[in-house]
Amino acid sequence: MPASAPQLTILPIARVVEAPEALTLLQAALAAGVVLPSSCRNGTCRACLCRLVNGDVRYRIEWPGVTAEERREGWLLPCVAVAVADVTIEQPEAIDACDLPVRLARPRF
């Protein structure tokens, strides 16, 4: 029986999504309909910077855009971080797509 993927919990919206090894935390969140701030998606712009509350990650790149001090303080970049085990992050700007308002478009004739 294959092992299940790690779980990613996103606070403060309390969404729990699967975070398989093939996806970064950002990709896993987006695939589940959770919008996190992002821009470059390669670890340089820091737009997605958020706090690691619990769990363990590894980075896809050797030098992600966080300093050693920031890592010790619990900061991470979900655009280049992969869950090693269950992970909880805190991103106050996270939006569950289910909570977005729906606008009906008028047909143009």
- Residues 62-106 pLDDT 10s: 777 899 899 899 999 999 999 999 999 999 999 998 887 777 778
CA dihedral 12, 62, 24, 8 (to 10 degrees): -40
78 close to 39: Cβ distance less than 8 angstroms: no
Structural domains of the chain, count? 1
Q: What is the pLDDT of residue 42?
A: 87
If pLDDT is split at 50, 70 and 90, which confidence band does 2 have?
low
Full residue range of the structural domain in which residue 42 is found: 7-97
Residue 105 belongs to a domain: no
- The CATH number of residue 24's host domain is 3.10.20.30
- Residues 12-68 pLDDT 10s: 999 999 999 999 999 999 999 999 999 998 888 999 999 999 999 999 987 778 998
Q: What DSSP string runs through 56-93?
A: -EEESSSS-SS-HHHHHTTEE-TTTEEESS-EEEE-TT
Residue 90 belongs to a domain: yes
If pLDDT is split at 50, 70 and 90, which confidence band does 1 have?
very low
Residue 2 belongs to a domain: no
For 26, the enclosing helix (H) or strand (E) is helix 25-31
Residue 103 belongs to a domain: no
Q: What is the pLDDT of residue 89?
A: 98
Residue 92 belongs to a domain: yes
